[in-house]
């Protein structure tokens, strides 16, 4: 496990890129975490007045301090509280936007226009702005106004129809697929692509990211099989190797599970030999009753040893197998630790706290953890002073409720 200090780093990949973050929950903060980890100067605009997305947050000051300490999504960012329904706060936002490279928001279409901070308005002030709108269904189309969350996007995108055991019910795989992969990661890729294009054209652009689009994109392999064969996969079935006994999960003697992914012939042969069933080698892709026979045999064989015993055996035979880990096991795995995907950070009051590490590894301009998640409004005064506001003006803005 890597122990890191909160430090200031130079020569980072996105050093000098200024990002205004209007997002609140899951996909947006995850996107700007990537940008901040790689050196961007990210300023979170916290809501002032009106409805805030705080339903899931702890209530006591101690719980809130702990939540921030362990919150990787908001590290490396600064925070300012602005009530954008007030003209004085809008003016502050415009000053920030004039110097910004990126703005990202995840409101329903039309909200930022009502607040006066939409792409059309900002791009007139700053034609180089890369403005990302991250929503469930996108900025146009019949669903653009609909509310939704991760589970709705994966169900509409077809992903949920294959998540689960054959004959069972669809499962909800937390919010990894739509929020983080289809949403946050797609947004980060879109923003970086637009920044790169700006180097050639000198102009910014609007990046329209829909989580439904992202889910459909993630289903590209299943889509290719469906488009070519017309066969629709069901729960637990992947068209390319639906029902294959050498691609799936098996329970072991200790009640735990092991995963197999022996698709290539040589991996499948090694698997059969390790399980003492060389007679199955000629039948890798026969399907039908033979696959049922092989799967039944595999189920019985895997029940004869513990998960870790099987992992040790199969890792010595060069086949594709891995333990199905609980989260505590995953964060103790030697490969995960070696890759610094669990880091310890010194917190001023809580001591050492753990966070997920930085997944993008760059040889020359690596990312770094430079600061913990900020308190709402922690950097309001610092940011306003940098914009040229006098202390007296800042105090007056506080009194009016434009800032907090």
234/357: higher pLDDT: 357
As a whole number, mean pLDDT of residues 156-168 equals 89
Residue 60: its pLDDT value, please?
A: 86
Do 316 and 205 lie in one domain? The reply is no
Do 205 and 258 lie in one domain? The reply is no
CATH of the domain at 75: 3.40.50.10540
Report if residue 351 sits inside a domain. Answer: no
Report if residue 348 sits inside a domain. Answer: no
10/388: higher pLDDT: 388
Percent of all residues in the chain with a pLDDT value above 70, rounded to a whole number: 94
Token pair 């930085």 is found at 358
Q: pTM score, two decimals?
A: 0.91
Residue 55: its pLDDT value, please?
A: 47
Report if residue 345 sits inside a domain. Answer: no
Report if residue 354 sits inside a domain. Answer: no
Residue 168: its pLDDT value, please?
A: 87
Task: Give the pLDDT band (50/70/90) at residue 166.
Answer: confident
Full residue range of the structural domain in which residue 38 is found: 2-219+374-400
Q: Which of 53-67, 247-261, 348-362 has the lowest mean pLDDT?
A: 53-67
Residue 57: its pLDDT value, please?
A: 53
Percent of all residues in the chain with a pLDDT value above 90, rounded to a whole number: 82
Report if residue 207 sits inside a domain. Answer: yes
Contact 128, 44 (CB under 8 A): no
Q: Which of 21, 37, 118, 179 is the catalytic position?
A: 179
Q: Which of 149, 206, 208, 347 is the catalytic position?
A: 149
Residue 237: its pLDDT value, please?
A: 73
Q: Which of 38-47, 55-64, 231-240, 343-352 has the lowest mean pLDDT?
A: 55-64
Q: Which of 271, 306, 330 is the last residue of a domain?
A: 330
Beta strands 342-347 and 351-356 are antiparallel
Report if residue 358 sits inside a domain. Answer: no
Do 262 and 379 lie in one domain? The reply is no
Q: What kind and span of H or E run contains 133?
A: strand 130-135
Token pair 């929950």 is found at 25
The interaxial angle of helices 211-218 and 220-229, nearest 10 deg, is: 60
Q: Is the pLDDT of residue 59 over 90?
A: no
Residue 64: its pLDDT value, please?
A: 86
Give the pair of three-digit tokens for residue 376: 């709402």
Beta-ladder partners of 132: 104, 207
Do 118 and 197 lie in one domain? The reply is yes
Residue 85: its pLDDT value, please?
A: 94
CATH of the domain at 290: 3.30.1540.10
pLDDT (tens digit, 9 = 90+) per residue, 91-140? 999 999 999 999 999 999 999 999 999 999 999 999 999 999 999 999 99
Task: Give the pLDDT band (50/70/90) at residue 240.
Answer: low
Give the pair of three-digit tokens for residue 261: 């992914």
Do 320 and 392 lie in one domain? The reply is no
Does the annotation mark 186 as catalytic? no
Q: Which of 6-15, 374-383, 391-400 has the lowest mean pLDDT?
A: 6-15
Q: Exposure of 202 by Cβ count < 10 A (0-12 exposed, 13-18 middle, 19+ buried)? A: exposed
Torsion region of 247: left, alpha or beta (phi above 0 gives left; psi -120 to 50 gives alpha): beta
Q: How far apart are the first and last CA of the chain?
A: 38
Task: Give the pLDDT band (50/70/90) at residue 236.
Answer: confident
Q: Which of 273, 297, 330 is the last residue of a domain?
A: 330
Do 175 and 60 lie in one domain? The reply is yes
Residue 54: its pLDDT value, please?
A: 47
Residues 6+ apart with CB under 8 A from 113: 120, 121
As a whole number, mean pLDDT of residues 337-345 equals 95
Residue 165: its pLDDT value, please?
A: 82
Does the annotation mark 149 as catalytic? yes
Q: Which of 330, 353, 384 is the last residue of a domain?
A: 330
Task: Give the pLDDT band (50/70/90) at residue 53.
Answer: very low
Q: What kind and span of H or E run contains 264?
A: none
Residue 52: its pLDDT value, please?
A: 46
As a whole number, mean pLDDT of residues 156-162 equals 93
pLDDT (tens digit, 9 = 90+) per residue, 282-333? 999 999 999 999 999 999 999 999 999 999 999 999 999 999 999 999 999 9
Residue 5: its pLDDT value, please?
A: 60
Q: Per-residue DSSP letters for 30-41?
A: HHHHHHHHTT-E
The total domain count for the chain is 2
182/5: higher pLDDT: 182
Do 320 and 178 lie in one domain? The reply is no
Do 126 and 214 lie in one domain? The reply is yes
Q: Is the pLDDT of residue 265 over 90?
A: yes
Q: Is the pLDDT of residue 247 over 80?
A: yes
């Amino acid at each position: 496990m890597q122990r890191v200090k909160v430090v200031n780093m130079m020569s980072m990949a996105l050093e000098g890129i200024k990002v205004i973050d209007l997002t609140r929950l899951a996909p947006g903060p995850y996107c700007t975490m990537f940008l901040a980890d790689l050196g961007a100067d990210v300023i979170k605009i916290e809501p002032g007045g009106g409805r805030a997305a705080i339903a899931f947050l702890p209530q006591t000051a101690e719980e809130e301090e702990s939540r921030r300490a362990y919150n990787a999504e908001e590290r490396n960012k600064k925070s300012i509280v602005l009530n954008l329904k007030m003209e004085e706060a809008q003016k502050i936002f415009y000053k920030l936007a004039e110097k910004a490279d990126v703005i990202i928001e995840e409101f329903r279409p039309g909200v930022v226009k009502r607040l006066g901070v939409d792409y059309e308005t900002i791009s007139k002030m700053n034609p180089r702005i890369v403005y990302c709108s991250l929503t469930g269904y996108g900025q146009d189309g019949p669903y653009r106004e609909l509310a939704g969350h991760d589970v709705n996007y994966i169900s509409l995108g077809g992903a949920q129809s294959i998540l689960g055991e054959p004959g069972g019910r669809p499962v909800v795989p937390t919010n990894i697929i739509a929020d983080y992969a289809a949403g946050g990661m797609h947004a980060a890729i879109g923003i970086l692509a637009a920044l790169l294009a700006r180097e050639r054209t000198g102009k910014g652009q609007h990046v329209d990211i829909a989580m439904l689009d992202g889910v459909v994109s993630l289903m590209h392999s299943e889509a290719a099989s469906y488009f070519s064969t017309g066969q629709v996969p069901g729960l637990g079935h992947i068209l390319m190797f639906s029902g294959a006994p050498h691609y799936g999960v098996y329970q072991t003697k200790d009640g735990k599970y092991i995963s197999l992914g022996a698709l290539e012939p040589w991996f499948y042969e090694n698997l059969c030999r390790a399980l003492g069933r060389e007679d199955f080698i000629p039948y890798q892709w026969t399907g039908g009753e033979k696959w049922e026979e092989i799967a039944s045999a595999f189920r019985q064989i895997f029940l004869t040893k513990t998960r870790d015993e099987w992992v040790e055996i199969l890792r010595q035979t060069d086949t594709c197998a891995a333990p199905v880990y609980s989260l505590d096991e995953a964060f103790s795995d030697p490969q995960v630790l070696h890759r610094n995907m669990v880091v310890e950070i010194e917190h001023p009051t809580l001591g050492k706290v753990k966070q997920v590490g930085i997944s993008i590894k760059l040889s020359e301009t690596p990312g770094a953890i430079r600061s913990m998640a900020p308190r709402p409004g922690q950097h309001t005064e610092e940011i306003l002073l940098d914009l040229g506001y006098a202390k007296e003006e800042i105090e007056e803005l506080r009194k009016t409720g434009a800032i907090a």
